[in-house]
Amino acid sequence: MAEALDTEETRVFDADVGRILDIVAHALYSEREVFLRELIANAADACDKRRFLAQTDEALAEGAGDPAVTLVPDAGARTLTVSDTGVGMNRDELIANLGTIARSGTAEFAKKLSGDAAKDGSLIGQFGVGFYSAFMVADEVVVETRRLGEPQGWRWTSDGRGGYRIEPIARDTVGTDVILRLKEDAAEFLDPWRLKAVVKRWSDHLALPIRLDPRKAEGGKEDEGVETINAAQALWTRPKAEIEPETYTAFYRDISHAFDEPWAVIHNRNEGTIEYTNLLFIPTERPADLYEPERKPRLRLHVRRMFITDDCEALLPGWLRFLRGVVDSADLPLNVSREMLQNTPLLTRIRQGLVKRVLGELEGRAKSDAEGYARFWDAFGAVVKEGLYEDFENRDRLLGLARFRSTAVDGWTSLADYVARMKPEQKAIYVMVGDSVEAARVSPQLEGFKARGLEVLLLGDPIDGFWTMIAPDFDGKPIRAVGRVADDELAAFPKVDADGKAAPETKDEAAEGEAGIDGAALADLIGRALGDRVRAVRPSARLVDSPACLAAGSDGPDPALERLLARSGRGGPVRAPILEINPDHALLKALKGLAAEAGEDAAARAAALAEPAELLLDQARLAEGEAPADPAAFARRLAQLMTRAYRA
Ligand SMILES: Nc1ncnc2c1ncn2[C@@H]1O[C@H](COP(=O)(O)OP(=O)(O)OP(=O)(O)O)[C@@H](O)[C@H]1O
């Protein structure tokens, strides 16, 4: 075996590699300059790996001081070489890395291809098939490499059609040369200007120097110097004015493994008591880990440009965890410990500074770019609202930034706009918390508000039950859940018709005490019939078209929150609900008659209401999107009722 290792050998690609090569070489033709981005990214990774190994093992420190990538176009040989001083590969690594697809399945990659070359180009990086993009421009790719700490060099050669050859070579230096024998129609990549433009576009954000050796290029001269063609400086340390938007985008995508454009870039150098630089990105699209239970922020912390960690919870509050980017401070020690990362006052101050910056940016954008802000709120509003619950210090600013659905307007509305639309005599901001905005919108609890022309904000995110429980004020007005609005507060507003004019009272005075039973007495009888399945039964001004609804008590969480807590296994058992009835509803009037027929005795009257009271409670639950307490019993009662109705 040992002998075979030193000799030339021809091997076939994994089946997956063959397919990828085919796709990459043909489908992505118009964006083929991305091959250079991919090869440079691999070279940069290899340099990082080498630096890391050299730090941890002194024996490997040889030559690690000069990490760089050099592009060598050779017009005579029609080759472009991408050469790096990285960690290199040995024979096994060549076979494993360049002969198989290690990471994700080809089938998935092929499925995601859209036919849009620009989009598909970004997929190449996403699926870890970067190296193979070299075959978009090359008939043959040769990789010459020597692994750090090993004496033997290796050459890997392939035309990208089925297999590759691998052989030992003598090589003085550690690192890798990827030599591309360019296709007929890819001569543009021999032109130094073209190479510079591609590097500027895709790789300018890399701190690693990317050099160009023009001596063998068309018209190149022997005495020409090798020049560095990227900024070769950590992006956040460069002046804002010099950075192109697409360089920011490339950096954002690189560090966050995302493929969208950042919606906002917040880049500042902060001087004063603590010195730090922040380069923060607000994504356009939700990152995949947004709703992970750890709610961990993912900012990268650097100390004087050295990467320290991307797992530092103290750097951002959980409700800003969708931010991506870098914070670099000169005031932390390089060997900063884990404990220190948890609770140094320095980090607390940086966090406060970052939060202020982000809030300021959001406030500015909410004013200047309402459409973009609405999209931002669609994506991240549910997370930002967590701050209403847990960030007391910034609650007022967050209430100003929050947007809501409403019974009065389409799209998002702010609290300030709500307040401007409030009725003169209205004292509170009314909100309805449901399991979703749509569930809230159709809740019977809103009927009395709609009938009085009172606007209600519709909340449907899980977090809404929590922060509304604190009932914060906005602009001096309490935010009040409709379930907690007292009957007389609501009844004080006159009913209005569709045009907002006072509507004639429709209350049927004669029916009020029908059969000698008024609303309160009926509520009492229904309460007796339901026993401990309800906390209370009471008549309500909240209802117009529906016979009954569930209501929140003046204490404890909203019913929607109670249900959420119960579903997630937190919180106590769900308390028995409060049932509110609409004594003016024809059904309730009929029940008064039914009770009266049972005689004068309250117990007999309650017994007569036993079945309809159960149905009333269950249909109130259903209207809130909840299941009846005993679905089988509900179905049975409903079937009996229907039988009677249809037989008659
Ligand atoms: N210049 C290089 N030096 C050392 N190793 C390399 C070099 N180029 C490629 N490799 C190795 O080959 C592997 C495969 O490279 P490829 O570009 O196909 O995917 P990737 O780099 O793993 O994924 P991605 O492109 O998403 O970063 C790399 O992970 C790396 O281990």
Residue 377 within any structural domain of the chain: no
What CATH number has the domain bearing residue 533?
1.20.120.790
Assigned domain for 24 exists: yes
> Are residue 213 and residue 297 in the same domain, yes or no?
no
- Whether the per-residue pLDDT at 508 is higher than 80: the answer is no
Asked if 544 and 451 count as a contact pair (C-beta separation under 8 A), the reply is yes
Residue 1 lies in a domain: no
Quick check: is 175 in a domain?
Answer: yes
Judgement on whether residues 405 and 262 belong to the same structural domain of the protein: no
Residue whose CB lies within 8 A of the most ligand 1 atoms, among 45, 112, 208, for a mutation test: 45
- Does the residue 380 lie in any domain? no
Q: Are 205 and 147 in the same domain? A: yes
Q: Which helix (H) or strand (E) holds 371?
A: helix 370-384
Whether the CB-CB separation of 402 and 409 falls below 8 Å is answered with no
Q: Which domain, by its residues, includes 608?
A: 509-647
Lowest-pLDDT range of 59-63, 158-162, 205-209: 59-63
Say which residue, 273 or 154, is predicted with more confidence: 154
> Which of 58-62, 205-209, 397-401, 508-512 is predicted most confidently?
397-401
321 lies in the same domain as 409: no
Q: Is 89 annotated as a binding residue?
A: yes
510 pLDDT band (50/70/90 cuts)?
very low
| Distance set, CA 492 to CA 41, 382, 449 (Å) | 68, 34, 11
Asked if the model's pLDDT at residue 418 lies above 80, the reply is yes
From CA 37, how far away is CA 426, in angstroms rounded?
Answer: 61
**Is residue 542 located within the same domain as residue 596?**
yes
User: Is residue 373 situated within a structural domain?
Assistant: no
Token pair of 609, please?
A: 């209401």
What's the rounded Cα separation, in Å, for the pair 352 and 577?
42
| 127 in a known ligand binding site | yes
User: Taking CB atoms and a 6 Å cutoff, what residues make up the pocket around ligand 1?
Assistant: 38, 41-43, 46, 84, 86-89, 97-98, 125, 128-131, 176
On the question of pLDDT at 86 being above 90, the answer is yes
CATH number at residue 29: 3.30.565.10
pLDDT in tens, 99-149: 876 544 555 666 666 666 656 656 655 555 678 889 989 999 999 999 999
Pairwise CA distance, residues 525 & 534, whole Å: 12
| Span 73-102, average pLDDT | 91
Point out the domain boundary residue: 211, 233, 255.
Answer: 233
The side-by-side arrangement of strands in the sheet containing 536-539 is: 536-539, 578-581, 548-551
Domain boundary among 317, 339, 367: 367
pLDDT of residue 104: 47
Nearest residue (CA) to ligand 1, atom 14: 97
Looking at the fold, whether 632 and 546 belong to one and the same domain comes out as yes
State the pLDDT at residue 160: 86
* Tally of domains within the chain: 4
Report the pLDDT averaged over residues 156-185. Answer: 94
- pLDDT of 532 above 70: yes
124, 131, 203: residue to mutate for ligand 1 pocket, most atoms within 8 A of CB: 131
Residue 330 sits in the same domain as residue 447: no
Taking CA atoms only, the protein residue closest to ligand 1 atom 6 is 42
Q: Beta-carbon neighbour count of residue 459 at 10 Å?
A: 24
CATH code of 293's domain: 3.30.230.80
Give the distance (Å) from ligand 1 centre to CA of residue 224. 31
Identify whether residues 487 and 535 lie together within a single domain: no
Residues 49, 168, single domain; the answer is yes
Final residue of a structural domain among 367, 402, 417: 367
Looking at the fold, whether 222 and 250 belong to one and the same domain comes out as no
Q: Is 38 annotated as a binding residue?
A: yes
Looking at residue 338, its pLDDT comes to 72
**239-279 confidence digits (pLDDT tens):** 999 999 999 999 999 888 888 999 999 999 999 888 999 99
User: Helices 610-623 and 586-597, interaxial angle, to 10°?
Assistant: 160
176 in a labelled binding site? yes
Are residue 434 and residue 568 in the same domain, yes or no? Answer: no
| Mean pLDDT, range 474-490, rounded to an integer | 90
Whole-structure pTM value:
0.78
In a domain, 498, yes or no: no
Q: Ligand 1, atom 27: nearest CA belongs to which residue? A: 128
Domain-located, residue 549: yes
3-state SS class at 153: strand
Q: Whose CA is nearest to atom 19 of ligand 1?
A: 128
Give yes or no: residues 546 and 473 share one domain: no
Q: Read off the CATH number of the domain in which 440 is found.
A: 3.40.50.11260
Residue 68 has pLDDT above 90, yes or no: yes
How confident is the model over 440-450, as pLDDT tens digits? 999 999 999 99
